[in-house]
C-alpha cells in the first residue's frame, strides 16, 4: 500500500471490490451500497469514495469518474512518486483514547518540489482547554468556541489524507488522535503507511543531542512561522522531511519500501 485508506475493520473495501467485479461504479452507488449512505450528497460521496479506494492498488478512477478494478498491483512507488501528508495536531492533553480531544489540525502535502498546506482548522474539542495547554499553544476556549468539531470537518481531513503517506514528528501521538477522532466521527479505521520524522532522523543523523522538532529545526536552519500551532509545526516538519528524504536518497533509498525498511531498522547498539 502506497498511501492511506479507510477500512471498517476490513469489510468495506472488500464489499466494493465484489461490486466492481460486475463493472465500474460511481461514487453515489458506492456510498449507497457499500457505506450505507444512500442520501449522501455527490460531493460527499466523491470524497468518501476517494478516501476508501484512492490508495488501493486494485482500483482506479476512470476519466468518467467511476471506479473500476485494474490488473495486478504495481510495485513499491519511487519516492518522487509518493505524496506525503505531513500532519500536526494540537490537543487538550495526551490521552487520545480518553477524554482529550484535538483543538487544531493541519495537513501539509510534500511531493517532489511541492510543499503546500491543504487543510488547517481550529477545532472545538467539546471540553475546556487546560490553562497549561493555552499557555503552550496560545489556543484558548474563546478561540475554539465557534470552531467546527472534528465531525464537522472529518470528510475534508480524510480527503487531505487519502492516498498519501502519513508523516508526523512523534507520529504515534498525532496518528493516535487522528485515528481516534475518525473512529468516533465516522466509525471507520484509518489504515496505511506512516512515518515518524523523529525515527527517521535518528537513523539518518546519528549522534544529535536532541531529536525534538525545535532542536532539528535549529540544526537545519528551519524557521517556524508559529511554534506549537498546527500549521506552523507541520510546515517545519514538512521541510524536515524534505531534508530526511534527501539524506535517505544519498544512502541509496529509492522507493517507499526502501524508506519503510530504513524507518523500521533498529538503531546500532539497541
Query: Per-residue DSSP letters for 184-236?
Result: HHHS-EEES-EEEHHHHHHHHSTT-S--SHHHHHHHTTPPPSSTTSHHHHHHH
Of the candidates 239, 233, 237, 258, which has an alpha carbon nearest to the alpha carbon of residue 248?
258
What residue ranges do the domains of the chain occupy? 5-69, 79-264
**Residue 8 backbone dihedrals phi, psi, to 5 degrees:** -90, 80
Q: What is the CATH number of domain 79-264?
A: 3.30.420.10
More confident residue, 155 or 11: 155
Of the candidates 182, 245, 268, which has an alpha carbon nearest to the alpha carbon of residue 9?
182
Which run of H or of E encompasses 135? helix 131-137
Q: Which CATH architecture has domain 5-69?
A: Orthogonal Bundle (1.10)
Name the DSSP class of 100: -
Of the candidates 152, 155, 187, which has an alpha carbon nearest to the alpha carbon of residue 27?
155
pLDDT of res. 269? 58
pLDDT 10s digits, 182-209:
999 988 888 889 999 999 999 999 999 9
Helix axes 12-20, 42-53, angle to 10 degrees: 100
pTM of the entire structure? Answer: 0.76
Which run of H or of E encompasses 31? helix 27-33
Question: In 3-state terms, what secondary structure has residue 237?
Answer: helix
User: What average pLDDT score do residues 17-46 get?
Assistant: 87
pLDDT of res. 217? 97
Q: How many CB atoms are located within 10 Å of the residue 264 CB?
A: 9
Distances (CA, A) of 249 to 76, 78, 106, 239, 259: 15, 11, 27, 16, 9
pLDDT 10s digits, 45-89:
999 888 888 877 677 787 778 887 754 334 578 898 889 999 999
Q: Give CA–CA dist 48/155, Å, rounded.
A: 7
pLDDT of res. 71? 43
Amino acid at each position: 500500500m502506497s498511501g492511506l485508506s479507510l477500512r471498517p475493520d476490513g469489510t468495506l473495501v472488500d464489499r466494493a471490490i465484489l461490486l466492481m467485479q460486475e463493472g465500474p461504479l460511481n461514487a453515489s452507488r458506492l456510498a449507497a451500497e457499500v457505506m450505507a449512505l444512500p442520501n449522501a450528497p455527490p460531493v460527499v460521496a466523491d470524497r468518501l469514495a476517494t478516501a476508501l479506494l484512492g490508495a488501493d492498488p486494485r482500483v482506479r478512477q476512470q476519466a468518467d469518474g467511476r471506479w473500476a478494478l485494474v490488473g495486478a498491483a504495481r510495485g513499491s512507488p519511487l519516492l518522487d512518486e509518493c505524496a506525503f501528508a505531513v500532519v500536526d495536531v494540537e490537543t487538550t492533553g495526551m490521552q487520545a483514547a480518553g477524554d482529550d480531544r484535538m483543538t487544531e489540525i493541519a495537513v501539509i502535502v510534500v511531493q517532489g518540489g511541492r510543499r503546500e498546506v491543504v487543510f488547517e482548522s481550529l477545532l472545538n474539542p467539546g471540553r475546556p482547554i487546560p490553562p497549561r495547554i493555552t499557555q503552550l499553544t496560545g489556543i484558548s476556549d474563546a478561540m475554539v468556541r465557534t470552531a467546527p468539531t472534528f465531525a464537522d470537518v472529518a470528510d475534508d481531513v480524510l480527503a487531505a489524507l487519502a492516498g498519501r503517506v502519513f508523516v508526523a514528528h512523534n507520529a504515534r501521538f498525532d496518528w493516535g488522535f487522528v485515528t481516534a477522532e475518525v473512529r468516533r466521527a465516522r466509525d471507520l479505521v484509518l489504515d496505511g503507511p506512516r512515518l515518524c520524522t523523529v525515527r527517521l532522523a535518528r537513523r539518518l543523523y546519528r549522534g544529535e543531542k536532541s531529536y525534538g522538532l525545535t532542536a532539528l529545526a535549529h540544526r537545519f536552519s528551519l524557521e517556524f512561522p508559529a511554534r506549537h500551532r498546527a500549521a506552523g509545526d507541520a510546515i517545519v516538519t514538512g521541510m524536515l522531511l524534505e531534508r530526511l528524504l534527501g539524506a535517505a536518497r544519498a544512502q541509496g533509498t529509492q522507493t517507499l519500501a526502501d524508506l519503510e525498511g530504513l524507518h523500521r531498522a533498529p538503531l546500532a547498539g539497541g
